[in-house]
Amino acid sequence: MTIASVASERRLEVLGYADQQVCTGVPVSRFESRDYGMSQKVTSSLTQHEVVAYATSLSNWGRWGSADRLGTLNLITPQKRLEAARIVREGVTVSCAWNIEAGPDATAAPDEEGGPPQRFMIATGEGLPETPRLRGAREFIGFVFHGYAMTHVDALSHIFWDKQMYNGCPADAVTARAGATKHDVTSLAGGVVSRGILLDVARAQGREWLDPGESMLPEDLEAAENLAGVRVEVGDVMLVRSGYGRLRRTRGRQDVDTSGLPGLHPACLPWIHDRGAALLGSDTATDVLPPLFPEIRMPVHAIGVAAMGLWILDGCDLEELGEICERLQSWEFLFFLSPLRIRGATGSPVNPLAVF
C-alpha cells in the first residue's frame, strides 16, 4: 500500500489557529526511494500519520504569546546564560563552521545549491601608486546559504507547513520584494548564548561515521549522553555529531540528492521537545536523507521549525569539537551564535563557537 493510495483525510486543529489538512499515514518500516535509488535504513515503526500529528501534540504556538518571535529560544533564561558561563575553565575556543570558498576559481560542489559562492573584488592591492599611502580592499560576496554545504541557522520564516509559519504567521508574509516580513533572522539580533552539549552518536557507536541514509533514534541520543556523562536539559543547545565531517574530508563532497545523508529520525522530535532544547544543530542537514515519508520530506524541519519554533543549525563541522571534547573529557561548553542582522532574511551563515 502506498501513500498515494490512501483515500481518507482528516483535519487537525492546531491550538485554536487555522485548521491543518493532512494525509493519513501508513506504517513504513523500510522506505524504498525511487528518486534516490537506495534503501532507507529505518528501525522505527513511526507512521507518516503519527509524524504529521506532531504538528499538534508538539506545537508551541501561543506558549509564549501570540506575538512571540523567539520560539524555543525563550527557554534560555538569564540564569541559564550565567550558569553556562561558569563552565569555561580552559579558555579554549572551537569553531563549528566550514570555510566558505568563494571567488572566480570556485566551482559548484556537488552538495551546493544555487551555484558556488561569488566574490567580486571592488578594490584590491594590485597596481597601487605611491600616493596616497593609505588604501584598502573591498569586495561583493553573494551566496545561497540554505542547503547542504554551508553552516547556517534557519530563521523561523524558513519553513512553512500548510501555508503557515511558526505561531500561525501566514507563509505569504515572506515576499519576493521584502523577504521575510515576519520571523526574519533579526529576531535573533541578541544571538544565542547558552550551555552547549555535544551528542557524539558516531563515537558512542564506535564508528568513524554513520552511513548516508542512516537514522539516529532517541536511544542513540541517550547512548551518546550516557557515554559522555551529560544530559540535555531545558535551554541547552544540542549539537549532534554523525561523523559526516570526517566522511566529507575522506571521500570528498558528495551529491547529497544521490548519496543521501545521515540524520535525525522524526521519532527524536518528542524527545527534543520534552528535554526542552533551545536550539538543535548537526553536522548534516539535520533530517535524514533520502526522506522517510514522501508527504513530509524533512519532518524535523517541518515540525521542529513550523510547529515547535525550534531554531535549527545545519551543516556544522563538528570534527574538531569532538576531538577537543574527548581530549578534555568534557562534552559541555559555553555556546555562542551570532547571525548577520539581515532584514528580511530567512536565516544566516554563521560561525558557531564552543568555549571550554
Rg (CA), the chain: 21
Domains belonging to the chain, first-starting first, are: 3-100+145-355 (3.50.30.50), 112-142 (no CATH)
Average pLDDT over the chain, rounded to an integer: 88
- Residue 289 DSSP label: B
* Cβ contact 238:201 at 8 Å: no
User: How many whole angstroms separate alpha carbon 201 and alpha carbon 205?
Assistant: 6
End-to-end CA distance of the chain: 52
175-184 pLDDT, tens digit per residue, is 999 999 999 9
| 57-72 tens-digit pLDDT | 999 999 999 999 999 9
Euclidean distance between CA atoms 301 and 242, whole angstroms: 18
The pTM of the full predicted model, rounded to 2 decimals, is: 0.86
pLDDT in tens, 44-55: 789 999 999 999
Q: How confident is the model at residue 37 (pLDDT cuts 50, 70, 90)?
A: very low
